[in-house]
Amino acid sequence: MRRTVGPIVLLLTACLSLSVLRTASAQEEDQGPATLTVCNKGTRAVNVAIGSHDLDMVAPTLHVVAWQSVKPGACTDVYDFQTTAYIPFPAYLAFAFLGPQAQVIPARVATIPDIGAWTHWSTYMAVRFPAGSGLALSRATKQLCVSSAPVDYSVPFNSDVNCASQHPRGVQGALTPIAAQVFFHPSARTCSRIAGDLRCGGGRYYLDVAPKAGDLELHATHGDDHADESVAQLRTPEQDARDLANGVKTATELANAIVNGRRLPGPRSDEPADFTAKRAQWWKASMRPAGAYQPSWIGQIVVVRGTVASIGDQPMDATIVLKESLKDGLTVCPQYPNRLRRVYGADLNVLVGKTIEVTGEVERYEPCGNGATIRILEVEQVRLAGAR
């Protein structure tokens, strides 16, 4: 006889499942796009140099790009990180005016405004930033080497750079040192569907400056006229009550799905917008051998069989190379390999030498190489040959 599960147990089960899912996808939560828009409310153009820190634990580098000009009355994305498969890089910002003789005149940032915050969930970022959260903008004294002409170069992050020794391609003469007074630490923009509503947050930051002729102070302030800014807004009691009721409803639906062995309701935030429609086409096509790949497969949802030759050990986008597929031909790319590990074990190399069948859309997915890829987002897209 089937036991009846009470509502409190259902809610606890749902909460625990959400906690497990959140822990399992923590690395994913820190990844996504981020932008910093500078709006010039003053009467004088200001120029921005940016030094992006790539967060490599072994050999970190600083990528310096100058200049981006923000004219009076204009807004410019001085930082635009659009790679969704990586964590947005922190960056150092230096501001300057360019004089009539092409001299670099540093601008002052007397007060660092609060334009929002950053938060990280992944273990990797917890090692780098143990506090777990902080202000998006903070005071910095990082030296960058610039010129009145455009520059674009990379240097080791922790090195003491002698600007006179730097000779970026296309730049005449020695570079000039300038202090980056602002450290920008963004969170990725993330979206999730709650009770049927798509809600996005973080990742978009706005900074207003108001430089004036004859004044080196930028008068930097929080950009307060942007509807989609990243700073949290005060909520009304009615909004809180509505979201609480929706949350209870969603938790109950999740708990019932878990107890009855059904798929969790609603799309996940890491799925492409049309993923549900594509899922309905899995395993519908006839079987194709991986060695028969043709460029015409791009954009099709296929079923492919091949022998596993090797499996990458990346925490994300771990490429599975098939023996029958030519180099840069067709590969299989589990975007979140941990999901496969829950089925096949911690060491996915147990699949090497085995014949597998996969289904999904053939696409170009840069994190997994230059060739064609079947990206795996769900374990249901992979099975051992002969298994049904």
- Is it the case that residue 233 has pLDDT exceeding 70? no
| Distance linking the first and last C-alpha atoms of the chain | 29
Whether residues 101 and 194 share a domain: the answer is yes
Let me know if residue 332 belongs to a domain: yes
Distance CA 349, CA 353 (A): 9
Distance CA 365, CA 316 (A): 13
- Is it the case that residue 6 has pLDDT exceeding 70? no
Q: What average pLDDT does the chain have?
A: 80
pLDDT confidence of 76, banded at 50, 70, 90? very high
Q: Do residues 107 and 98 make contact, with C-beta atoms less than 8 angstroms apart? A: no
Element (H, E) at 152: strand 151-156
pLDDT tens for residues 282-323?
999 999 998 888 888 998 999 999 999 988 877 777 888 898
Relative orientation angle of helices 237-259 and 7-24, to the nearest 10 degrees: 90
Per-residue pLDDT at 10: 36
Let me know if residue 13 belongs to a domain: no
Lookup: tokens for 211: 């430089």
- Is it the case that residue 160 has pLDDT exceeding 80? no
How many Cβ atoms sit within 10 Å of the Cβ of residue 385? 12
Q: What is the mean pLDDT of residues 185-198?
A: 74
Q: Find where tokens 């230096």 sit.
A: 94
Lowest mean pLDDT among 3-17, 89-103, 193-207, 338-352: 3-17
Q: What is the mean pLDDT of residues 11-17?
A: 37
How many Cβ atoms sit within 10 Å of the Cβ of residue 240? 10
Final residue of a domain: which of 184, 204, 222?
222
**C-alpha separations of 89 from 102, 202, 205, 270, 345 in Å:** 30, 14, 14, 20, 33
pLDDT confidence of 139, banded at 50, 70, 90? very high
Final residue of a domain: which of 185, 205, 222?
222
pLDDT confidence of 146, banded at 50, 70, 90? very high
Let me know if residue 251 belongs to a domain: no
pTM higher than the cut 0.85: no
pLDDT tens for residues 18-56?
333 333 333 466 888 999 999 999 999 999 999 999 888
DSSP 8-state class, residue 227:
T
Distance CA 179, CA 106 (A): 8
Per-residue pLDDT at 170: 67
Q: Choose among 143, 145, 141, 138: nearest CA to 207.
A: 138
Which residues lie below 8 Å from residue 274, measured CB to CB, with a gap of 6+? none
User: What single letter denotes the amino acid at residue 59?
Assistant: A
Whether residues 115 and 45 share a domain: the answer is yes
Q: What is the mean pLDDT of residues 63-84?
A: 92
Q: Do residues 54 and 60 make contact, with C-beta atoms less than 8 angstroms apart? A: yes
Q: Which of 88-92, 196-200, 254-258 has the highest mean pLDDT?
A: 88-92
According to DSSP, the β-strands at 61-70 and 151-156 are antiparallel
Let me know if residue 47 belongs to a domain: yes
Q: What is the mean pLDDT of residues 165-175?
A: 76
Q: Taken in order 161, 163, 166, 170, is the CA torsion positive or negative?
A: positive
Per-residue pLDDT at 379: 86
Let me know if residue 261 belongs to a domain: no
Per-residue pLDDT at 4: 37
pLDDT confidence of 164, banded at 50, 70, 90? confident
Lowest mean pLDDT among 90-99, 267-276, 303-312: 267-276
Q: Which of 122-136, 156-170, 216-230 has the highest mean pLDDT?
A: 122-136
| Backbone φ, ψ for residue 261 (5° rounding) | 70, 25
Q: Is the peptide bond before 67 cis (omega within 30 degrees of 0)?
A: yes
Per-residue pLDDT at 359: 93
CA torsion 286→292→296→302, rounded to 10°?
30
Whether residues 173 and 281 share a domain: the answer is no
Q: What is the mean pLDDT of residues 89-109?
A: 91
Whether residues 214 and 304 share a domain: the answer is no
Q: How many domains does the chain have?
A: 2
User: Which residue range forms the structural domain that includes residue 289?
Assistant: 275-384
CATH code of the domain containing 320:
2.40.50.140
pLDDT confidence of 244, banded at 50, 70, 90? confident
Whether residues 203 and 307 share a domain: the answer is no
Distance CA 92, CA 161 (A): 15
How many Cβ atoms sit within 10 Å of the Cβ of residue 132? 11
Whether residues 320 and 204 share a domain: the answer is no
Let me know if residue 155 belongs to a domain: yes
Q: Taken in order 362, 366, 371, 373, is the CA torsion positive or negative?
A: negative
Let me know if residue 263 belongs to a domain: no
Whether residues 200 and 314 share a domain: the answer is no
Whether residues 194 and 312 share a domain: the answer is no
Instruction: Please tell me the total number of residues recorded for the chain in this structure.
Output: 388
Final residue of a domain: which of 189, 222, 255?
222
Distance CA 253, CA 256 (A): 5
> How are the residues of the chain apportioned to helix, strand and coil, as percentages rounded to the nearest 5?
20, 35, 45
Whether residues 169 and 297 share a domain: the answer is no
Whether residues 200 and 303 share a domain: the answer is no
Per-residue pLDDT at 80: 92
More confident: 159 or 295? 295
Whether residues 178 and 89 share a domain: the answer is yes
Distance CA 64, CA 172 (A): 17
- Is it the case that residue 261 has pLDDT exceeding 60? no
Q: Do residues 184 and 137 make contact, with C-beta atoms less than 8 angstroms apart? A: yes
Let me know if residue 122 belongs to a domain: yes
Distance CA 109, CA 137 (A): 12
Share of the chain above pLDDT 90, in %: 34
- Exposed / middle / buried, residue 162 (Cβ in 10 Å: 0-12, 13-18, 19+): exposed
Distance CA 298, CA 360 (A): 11
Which residues lie below 8 Å from residue 295, measured CB to CB, with a gap of 6+? 372
Whether residues 185 and 64 share a domain: the answer is yes
